[in-house]
């Protein structure tokens, strides 16, 4: 079953309502639009790798979760569910879903910033596609951190009960991606010529699609402060009454 060209609802184990959502996403552009409309999963309760069903339920995702949903939708419409891992140093990896048009690669991507998003299917090789993310791939110290990209990973190698309808995090997919063969994008000589982001780029990078939630401790402290301030104001107000 796992190497079938078209995935049916029964193959995936989805409910009719869940399957209908993905069935409507019949082009990469529609899949990307759906991912853009999902809120960002900021993992406030710890790291996650949510299966497709859980993403549909919570309407939240980060990169690998969005990539698995995209792969599932592509598979329903007869395209292979391929993921590509981009590996960074002193930074997070990024995972995208791949598709091809007229022999060229494109990418579907879930991200909260402006740099690591969708790529049009204009790249002749996977290296061309991966290197297109290099300039915008940076950490908080403004270093450009992208170093490697993997060979494509076909999600049909993993049981849909793990990454589509699983009740636990699909860490098996994340581990399989990490174990894929990776290729270097830049060498040491090239890295010596790489610059950090400039001030304008830092300001632009501050634009986010979804606002990051306040840390829980800070939010609780702020709530307590507001409560105390409100109580003090009521106390002062009661003392001024005749």
Residues 203 and 218 in one domain: no
Per residue in 52-82, pLDDT (tens digit) is 999 999 999 999 999 999 999 999 999 999 9
Domain boundaries, position 79: 9-211
The candidate with the shortest Cα–Cα distance to 182, out of 77, 116, 73, 87, is 87
pLDDT for res 220: 54
Q: How far apart are CA 67 and CA 62, in angstroms?
A: 8
Instruction: Detail the DSSP E strand segments found in 135-233.
Output: 146-150, 153-154, 182-184
Q: Does 152 map to a domain?
A: yes
The answer to whether residues 154 and 204 belong to one domain is: yes
Residue 242 has pLDDT above 50, yes or no: no
Q: Looking at per-residue confidence, does 165 or 113 come out higher? A: 165
- Residue 229's pLDDT band, with cuts at 50, 70 and 90, is low
pLDDT (0 to 100) of residue 207: 87
| Residue pLDDT, tens place only, 26-59 | 999 999 999 999 999 999 989 999 999 999 999 9
Residue 202: partners with Cβ closer than 8 Å, 6 or more residues away: 142
Q: Are residues 121 and 29 in the same domain?
A: yes
Residue 142: exposure state from Cβ atoms within 10 A (0-12, 13-18, ≥19): middle
- Same domain, yes or no: 89 and 24: yes
Q: Is residue 81 part of a domain?
A: yes
Q: How confident is the model at residue 205 (pLDDT cuts 50, 70, 90)?
A: confident
Is-contact 6 76, C-beta < 8 A? yes
Query: In the predicted model, is pLDDT for residue 239 greater than 60?
Result: no
Residue 52: inside a domain: yes
Segment 169-193 shows an average pLDDT of 97
**How is 76-102 classified by DSSP, letter by letter?**
HTTS--EEEEEEESSS--EEEEEEEET
- Give the pLDDT of residue 204: 86
The answer, yes or no, to whether residue 192 has pLDDT greater than 80, is yes
Pair (16, 136) in one structural domain: yes
Within a domain: 66: yes
Q: Is the pLDDT of residue 236 over 60?
A: no
My answer on whether 171 and 226 are in the same domain is: no
> In sequence order, what are the residues at sequence separation of 6 or more whose Cβ sits closer than 8 angstroms to the Cβ of residue 238?
none
Region 199-218: what's the mean pLDDT?
A: 80
Q: What 3-state class would DSSP assign to 128?
A: helix
Burial 184-208 (b: 16+ CB within 10 A, else e): ebeeeeeeeeeeebeeeeeeebeee
pLDDT at 202: 87
Instruction: Report whether pLDDT(141) > 50.
Output: yes
Residue 2 counted as domain residue: no
Mean pLDDT confidence for 188-212: 90
Asked if residue 1 belongs to a domain, the reply is no
Do 201 and 87 lie in one domain? The reply is yes
Number of domains making up the chain: 2
Residues 191 and 226 in one domain: no
Position 241 scores a pLDDT of 38
Please state, for a pLDDT cut of 70, what percent of the chain lies above it. Answer: 88
**82, 98 contact by CB (below 8 A):** yes
Q: How far is residue 126's CA from residue 55's CA, in Å, rounded to a whole number?
A: 27
pLDDT tens digit sequence for 119-131: 999 999 999 999 9
Whether 3 is in a domain gets the answer no
Q: Are residues 168 and 90 in the same domain?
A: yes
How confident is the model at residue 223, as a pLDDT?
60
Is residue 28 domain-resident?
Answer: yes
Q: How confident is the model at residue 240 (pLDDT cuts 50, 70, 90)?
A: very low
């Amino acid at each position: 079953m796992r190497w079938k060209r078209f995935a049916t609802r029964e193959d995936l184990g989805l409910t009719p309502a869940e399957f209908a959502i993905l069935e409507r996403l019949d082009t990469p552009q529609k899949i990307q639009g759906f991912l853009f409309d999902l809120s960002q999963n900021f993992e406030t309760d710890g790291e996650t790798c949510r299966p497709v069903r859980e993403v549909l339920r919570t309407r939240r995702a980060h990169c690998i979760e969005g990539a698995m949903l995209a792969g599932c939708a592509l598979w329903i419409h007869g395209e292979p569910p391929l993921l590509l891992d981009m590996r960074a140093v002193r930074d997070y990896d990024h995972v995208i879903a791949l598709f091809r048009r007229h022999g060229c690669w494109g990418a579907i991507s879930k991200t909260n910033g402006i740099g690591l998003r969708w790529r049009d299917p204009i790249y002749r090789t996977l290296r061309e596609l991966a290197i297109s993310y290099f300039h915008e791939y940076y950490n908080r110290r403004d270093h450009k951190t992208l170093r490697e990209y993997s060979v494509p990973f076909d999600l049909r190698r993993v049981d849909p009960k793990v990454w589509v309808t699983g009740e636990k995090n699909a860490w098996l997919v994340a581990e399989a991606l990490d174990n894929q063969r990776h290729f270097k994008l830049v060498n040491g000589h090239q890295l010596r010529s790489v610059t950090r982001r400039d001030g304008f780029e830092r300001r632009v990078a501050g634009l986010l699609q979804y606002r990051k939630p306040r840390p829980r401790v800070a939010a609780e402290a702020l709530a307590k402060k507001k409560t105390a301030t409100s109580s003090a104001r009521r106390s002062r107000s009661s003392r001024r009454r005749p």
